[in-house]
Structure 1
């Protein structure tokens, strides 16, 4: 099939920053696009050929949006899977598939998939409601501390909490959830796997993730990870195992725990371009967004190795500020060598909302990490007025 400078139309469910960055690549290749997002201010609205405002979880909205498309992909997992199933029956190619999304959308189902597939992961228990956990604790089924995760709709650290005592349970939403063993890990890693519709696979280098202690969001991503070579090879092997068992098409970001004994455990996955792969825009021979396009279009996959060491810093809304966004110190960080800011185009900031990221490249990963710390110290995402 011809994709370039034709009437071929790619649909994207979700118009946030991931959709916006994917559109950089579709415009580079002159691929026609249509985007669906609930917000009239979605960052991707300006770069696509056609923008549709609508609910991603509404069956009819998703079905009508995509029924005449040639290919449909996502930038967010929370979409109506039943509509995707019927679109596939109608002949629309959907990547990742509805079956893959159905497994990944629900964290309980995702964990069962790991266990049933022989994929190493932390121990867990499933609950229809959070209120059931209390009975399990009292009867010795689970013990403190553990990690509570909402089964659905968690993102950017939301829907996840370490539960250390009974009091911690009282603040949790009473929803379907899992209680997961709290792993005393050495660090958190991630591997982005690309798999095209012909079955060709490639893995990106292992990255190291450092998290904000309060928001539970990724604060820094370092590539390459500062880990022994054998640990990195094992992490890539496990990520490939997940990809092969899922049979996904596109990008799959596999988040991992490295234990103090150097065991690799799968935390969770995202079947799309991911925050852990943003460094690749400046650091890799083929950035993750171009690679996702190559994969879903069935084209040969590009090189995944790095041209240079890179560190990505997330720019999130500062605590205490909400309203019209202002990037304080942006000009200061532009004076630093190897620094590239990406502003997502969200006009309103609030505490810990992802508003952009900055990539720092350097031949030496430790130098890049030191400069990333300077970036973090010299830029702030604020608003004109503090929250009262």
Structure 2
């Protein structure tokens, strides 16, 4: 049994990254009175207000992350772009770091991630990896990579960046010269996700399978629906696959598993994230335990909470309008707040820019179709613009 006193004590949880994911995690640490330290490069990061201690510094600099971790009992992340070397050294010196640094390193690289799926017989889209653009061009000229295909930057891509649909040679001209993947186009019917939690003692629980709709230009999630509109057998298959990936990785903490449901009923892994994730935000209002509370429970080796659905839920992402940059203004926010079952979450970012994630709205209702209808109203009424 875990005998550590985390509550109202000198225990310190370190969070590497201070964005909106960290902010929502801090709401749970505040509720349980767990002391926190947060590191982020921005002095106006969302986490600056909710943590017990806030440090401004680079997430990728070895010395900064290493020194930060010295004063923490357990470390976690809310973004993958961190100094894995510093976290690895801290782990070697006896600090508990979750997710484990070797898992972060693996997932930082889409090439390593896809090779992991292949080696472990985990279904995923066919792919070929390349060290540079010249290698890719040679393969195309030899007709080893047919059009169309999906190009993915191996490292550094996030929130829709670092991914491109390549239909002809001209589409390659603006791509950077970096290690990359050429991935076969998947004729998918739906995009699904399962958020699963695994604790240090091996306990594993997953949230209901959700369905995601993406913005066609920004490649960002616009809507998340829970439960997803799929047959029970498909949902069970997605759940089983997500738990299998978590077990194969041996991860401690939350793992978000994004998947394609093909037109012939196959489920393929697209990508995973070793942290709390956009596809799980609606668990705050929609489920008995949120993904943020579940992550805390997992990394502190506490009993995992119930993932049971309280009510069906729909999440609408609030992103900056593509025509506005500057001090943020939420047009129509009072109108949507007047609707029952509507919960607005603003991330604490004072400046908006095109497609920047600024917040989300969760709508809950006993009837999922009623929640979907309200979500369409929310999407129509609220605009993230600048003054």
User: Which band: TM-score by shorter chain?
Assistant: over 0.9
Q: Find the aligned partners of 1:238 and 1:134 in 2 and give their Cα distance.
A: 34
Match in the other structure for 2:276: 273
Q: Deviations over 1:306-348 (max 9, x none)?
A: 1000000000000110000000000010111210100000000
Find the partner of 1:289 among 289, 292, 295. Answer: 292
Match in the other structure for 2:241: 238
Find the partner of 2:152 among 124, 141, 149. Answer: 149
Q: Where does structure 2 lack aligned partners over 5 or more consecutive residues?
A: none
Match in the other structure for 1:103: 106
What is the CA distance between 1:132 and its match in structure 2? Answer: 2.2
What is the SS of the residue equivalent to 2:133?
Answer: coil
Match in the other structure for 2:45: 42
Question: Is 1:197 the counterpart of 2:191 in the alignment?
Answer: no
The worse-fitting range, judged by mean Cα deviation, of 125-134 and 276-285 is 125-134
Question: Is 1:54 the counterpart of 2:75 in the alignment?
Answer: no
Match in the other structure for 1:324: 327
- Aligned runs of 1:1-388 on 2, under 5 Å? 1-384=4-387
Q: Deviations over 1:246-303 (max 9, x none)?
A: 0000000000000001100000000111000000001000001000000000000000
RMSD, aligned CA = 0.6
Number of equivalent positions = 384
What is the SS of the residue equivalent to 1:113?
Answer: helix
Q: Find the aligned partners of 1:264 and 1:335 in 2 and give their Cα distance.
A: 39
Q: Where does structure 1 lack aligned partners over 5 or more consecutive residues?
A: none
Q: Deviations over 1:353-382 (max 9, x none)?
A: 000000000111111111101100000000
What is the SS of the residue equivalent to 1:102?
Answer: helix
Q: Deviations over 1:21-48 (max 9, x none)?
A: 0000000000000000000110011000
What is the SS of the residue equivalent to 2:241?
Answer: helix
What is the SS of the residue equivalent to 1:131?
Answer: helix
What is the CA distance between 1:174 and its match in structure 2? Answer: 1.2
What is the CA distance between 1:194 and its match in structure 2? Answer: 0.5
What is the SS of the residue equivalent to 1:314?
Answer: strand
Q: Find the aligned partners of 2:157 and 2:44 in 1 and give their Cα distance.
A: 22
Query: Could you tell me the TM-score, scaled by structure 2's length?
Result: 0.99
